[in-house]
Structure 1
C-alpha cells in the first residue's frame, strides 16, 4: 500500500484535497491509527494514518463524527493552523504536511516503526508514537536508494530488477517475473524490461486492488491478476485495500476464537466418546466384582489373619480352581464381600450411564464437526457475525461467548474498572506476555513478597496516574490472584511499566522494579465485583 510510486499519486491527490484547509484536531480511535480532521471551505474530512507495520497506510476519507470517549488527542498546538504544502520526499517514503507557522507533520511510511512527527527547524517536537523518546531528536531525512546502471548477471531476476530500480513494489515482483518469464531473460533484457515497467508506473497508472488484497498500479498487461476493485484515484484503492486488510485481520481474530473453542470441544467429545464406547468393560468388571462378593460370602464364617491383603479360595464357578481375591477392607470377609457388591453396583450404573450418554455425545460431536467446517469456510466478517447469531444457542451450549471462554481464549484475563481496562496474567508465561505488551505509561501492580499474577491498568498513552480508587481496586485484584488471597489485607506494589524491567536470563514472570509504591488492600475477586 505504501510503495513509493503509490505515494506519488497519493501525494498529488491529498495535496489537492487538503491544501489551504485548516487543521482541527487529531485523535487515535484505535491502537496504531491516527485520524486527522481537516476543514476546507464548508467540508470536513479525515486524513487516516495507520502506523501498524503490517497495514501501514495514509489516505483521506469522508467525515465521520469522532469518538468522544477514551481517546487521546495529538498535536493540539496545530489547532486552527492553515495547511500550506503537501510534499513527497525525493525517492523516499516520507510525506510532509506544512503549516503557515513553519512547522510540519512528517509521515514516515516505512520500516517496522511507522510514525508521524511534528517537526520544527528539523527537530522533532512531538510524535504520534513514543513522543518521550523522540522529542528533541533530529527529524528523519530522505535517503535515496542506490540505482545501478548495470545488472549483476549471477543474481536472481528479482534482485536484478531491484538493482535497476530499488523502488519497485517488491511484493508484486514474483508475480511479474513469473508472468513475463524474467528468469529466462538476459541481463540487458532484464534492464530494458525493468525500465519499461517503471515507465508504466510513472505514466500509465491503473489503480486497482488485486484479488490477493495487494494494491497495484500496473494494468493486467503487466500483471495479469484479477482485480477486486478498480479505481479512478489511488486514494480510493488504498482506502479500500487498507479497510479490507483490517477486515481480514478482524475476521481472522474472531474466527480463531470460535475455531479454537470448537477444536477443543471436538477433542474433548472424541475422548469422552472413546471412554463411553468402553462401557462393556464396566459390565465385565461388574460381573467380576459380583463374583468376588459371592465367593467371599461363601466363606464369610471363616476368619482371616489381621492385616491380610488377599484371600485364596476355591472358585466354584471355575471347577474349584484356586482364585486369589484382594481384600480392600480391614474388616472381616463379609465386609469385603459387601465392598465388592457395591463395586459391582457402581460398575453397572456406570455402564447404564454410558449407554444413555453415548448417542447424545455422538450427536454433539457431529454437530461440532459440522460447525467447524462451516466456520472455516467463512471469508467475510459480516457473514461470520450472521453465522454466530444463527448458531448462538449451539455455540453457547459448547461454551462460546461465556466469560470463562473469553478468558481462556485470551493470553490474560481482562476486566474493566470504570473506563480503564485491567489485564491480569494467568501464569508466569502469561505474566511475561502481559508486561511486554503493556505501554510504558500503563500501571503495573503485583502483590508484594508472594507469588502471583502481574496486573496492568491500561492508560491509553496518558502520562498521569488513574484515580486512586482505580488503583486500589486493581490492587485488590492483584492480591486476589496471589498467594495472599486468604489474607484480610495484603501489601500490593505498583508503578509505571517503564520502571519494570526483566533481567536477561531470568525465569518466566521475574521482573525488577526501579521504583514502587505500596498500598494495603483486601483481596477482591473481579468476577464478583
Structure 2
C-alpha cells in the first residue's frame, strides 16, 4: 500500500496525541529485517515506534508496550533518555520530523516515507546531518526537505484558486480533475466521499455548475479534515487499498491508522503481535483516560487564571482613582495600593494605544469576562471528572473479565466513549446492530437517526442523554433524531439545528414536501405515552422550525 501525504497527516495527529513528553528508552536497528524499533515511555504508558524501510513500501507506526520480537543492535545511542518535544509533517509531504531534546542538546529525527527510497536522518538542532540509514548526497551537509509537492493541500486551500485550476481541465471529469489537483486523495477516498446515488463526479467539469463544484470542494475539505482527526475511526478497503472514513458498511474498522500500517508491515517482515480484544480495549481506555487527565489539568489551570479576576478588578479601580497620573502611550504605571493594609505600590499594565479611561474599561471588561467564565469552567471540570470516574470504573470491570467475551452492557458503555473491540484474527460474530444511523453536522456534532419505530424508543430513552436535542417532523410519522451535545454546556449553532431538522424531515413521511415543520426540545422533556405504540411520545417545551427535507451528506 502506498502511503500518501494525507495518511502522513493523520499519523502525525495520532503521534501528537500520545508522544510529546515521552522519553526514548531504547533505539535498536535490525539490518536483516530493515526495521528500526524505538522504545518510548512517559509517566503513564510505554510505546514502540516502528519504522519499516525494506521492500517497495515503507511504514511508520506505533504499538502499545515495548516490542522485542526481532533481533536488533543498538542504534543512535546519543538519543537515549532524550525527550520528544514535538512531531510535525514537513510541507504536507510523506516526511515526519521528531524534535528531540536532552539536558544539553537538541536533535531532529526525520523519517522519509518514500517506499524503496525511504530514509531516516538524524540532525542536530540547526539541521546539520549527523547520520542517516542510507547515504545522502555527498554535498549534502544540512538536511534539505524534498521539493514541495506541486499538488494542492486538501486541508488548506483557497476555493476560488482551486476552482480556476479545475476549470482549466474542463474536458476531464470532475473526479479526474480532483485527483489531478490534490495531493493525498485517491480513487477509493473519492468513492467513499461521493454522496450515494450521485454521479456528479463523473460528469465533465464544463457541464457542472460552478456553485456545485464549490460545494463539493468545501465538503471534500471537511472530509479530509475529519480524516486526520485522531479520534475519527477509519476503515480499509483491501481491494482498492484505500483508507477511508469509518462507515456502516462491511469494511473492517480501525481506531488508528497505525493499526492499518502495522497489518501491511506484518505481511512483509514483522509478525503481527498477538492481541486480544481485552488488551486492545485496555489500551484504548488508557489513552482515553490520559487524554481526559490532560484536559482536566488544562481546565484547572484555566480556572486558576479566571479566579484571579478580583486582582484585575482591583487594578482597574486603582487606575480609575489615578487617571490624572496616566497618559496615552504608557505601557505601565505604578500606583499606591490603598486596598492593602501594608501599603506599598502595585504595577498596572497598560495598552499604549488607549487613553487612561479606555484602559480602565479594558481592565474592568477583562475582569468581568474572567468572572463569567468561572461557572462554565467548573461545570466542564466536573463533567471531565465524572467522565474519568466512568472510564476508571470501566477499566476495573474490564480487568475483572476472565476472557474476551464482553457483556453486552459493558460493550455498549465502552462504545459511548468511542472504544470498540478490533476486528482482528478470526471474523467476529455479527454484533447486534445499533438502533440508529450516525451522521455528523458541519460543526462536528453527531446526529443519530432511529432506524424504526421500536428503535426510536430505544434511541430516545436508552442511548440519548437528557441534555441532547430531540427532533421530529411535526404531525407526521418519522424517525426520532438526536443532535448530540459533546458536553452539557455546549451551545449548538443555528446551522447545526437546521441540518438536524432537515435530516428529521428527510426521514419522515413528508420527505417529498418542499417544506416541513420540525419540532425540537431537550430529551429530558420527551416522555413515552402510556400504552402508546412504538415510537409514540409526548414532547414538552418544543420549538418549531420550517425546513426543506435533505438527504444527509455523510
TM-score range, shorter chain: 0.3 to 0.5
TM-score, normalising length: structure 1: 0.40
Structure with a larger share of its residues in helix: 1
TM-score, normalising length: structure 2: 0.38
Which of the two has higher C-alpha Rg? Answer: 1
